[in-house]
C-alpha cells in the first residue's frame, strides 16, 4: 500500500469507528470537499461535517474497498448504512470517493453518488418524485449547509 492508499485506509477505518478526530486530521489545511448533499465545503466546514455526521449517526455501519492511488490522486468505493435522522428511514448509500493528496494529507475530496437513489431511501415518495432535479439538489444543499452551520455555531462555537 502506498502512502496515499494508507491515508485513505486510515480515513475510512476511522469513519467505521465514528472517529471524527482522525478523519479531521487527514485533511490538508487548504482542503476542499464536494458532494451532492452539501455542495462545496472549505476545510473548516468539512471537518465540522464529519464531526456532525459521526456524532449524529444512528444504526451506522460502513464498508470500503477498491482503494487505489497513483501519483497524487486516489479513489475508493465505500458504502454507508444508517438511519436518516430527519425521517427515521434506513439508507444504504454507495459512494465513490475521489481524492487529491498533498503533503501527506487530503487536499481535495469529492464523493459521488446517486442523489435520486439516496433521496428515495431517505425521504420516501417525495425523494422519488423530486430527487432527480437540480432544484431538489440546490434545496437539499441549502438545508444541509444550514444544519451544518447551526451545528458549527451551537456545538463548536464557530460562526456568527
Question: Bigger pLDDT: 64 or 127?
Answer: 64
Q: What is the pLDDT of residues 122-131, one digit of tens each?
A: 988 887 777 7
Specify the pTM: 0.93
Q: Are 35 and 145 in contact (CB under 8 A)?
A: no
Domain 3-114 has CATH 3.10.450.50: yes
Domain limits of the chain? 3-114
DSSP conformational letter for 157: -
Q: What is the pLDDT of residues 26-36, one digit of tens each?
A: 999 999 999 99
Q: What is the pLDDT of residues 18-61, one digit of tens each?
A: 999 999 999 999 999 999 999 999 999 999 999 999 999 999 99
Q: What is the pLDDT of residues 81-93, one digit of tens each?
A: 999 988 899 999 9
- The set of residues, in sequence order, having a beta carbon less than 8 Å from that of 84 and lying 6+ positions away, is 90, 91, 121, 122, 123
The answer on pLDDT for 160 being more than 70 is: no
Q: Report the C-alpha gap between 11 and 8 in whole angstroms.
A: 5
Query: Which residue in 136, 128, 141, 107 sits closest to 36, CA to CA?
Result: 141
Cell of 147: 444544519
Amino acid at each position: 500500500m502506498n502512502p496515499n492508499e494508507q491515508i485513505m485506509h486510515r480515513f475510512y477505518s476511522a469513519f467505521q469507528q465514528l472517529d471524527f478526530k482522525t478523519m479531521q486530521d487527514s485533511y490538508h489545511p487548504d482542503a476542499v470537499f464536494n458532494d451532492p448533499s452539501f455542495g462545496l465545503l472549505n476545510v473548516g466546514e468539512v471537518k465540522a461535517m464529519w464531526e456532525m455526521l459521526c456524532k449524529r449517526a444512528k444504526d451506522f455501519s460502513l464498508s470500503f474497498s477498491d482503494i487505489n492511488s497513483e501519483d497524487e490522486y486516489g479513489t475508493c468505493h465505500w458504502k454507508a448504512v444508517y438511519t436518516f435522522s430527519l425521517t427515521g428511514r434506513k439508507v444504504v448509500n454507495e459512494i465513490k470517493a475521489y481524492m487529491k493528496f498533498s503533503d501527506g494529507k487530503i487536499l481535495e475530496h469529492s464523493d459521488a453518488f446517486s442523489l435520486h437513489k439516496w433521496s428515495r431511501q431517505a425521504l420516501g415518495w417525495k425523494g422519488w418524485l423530486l430527487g432527480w432535479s437540480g432544484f431538489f439538489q440546490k434545496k437539499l444543499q441549502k438545508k444541509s449547509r444550514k444544519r451544518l452551520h447551526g451545528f458549527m455555531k451551537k456545538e463548536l462555537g464557530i460562526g456568527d
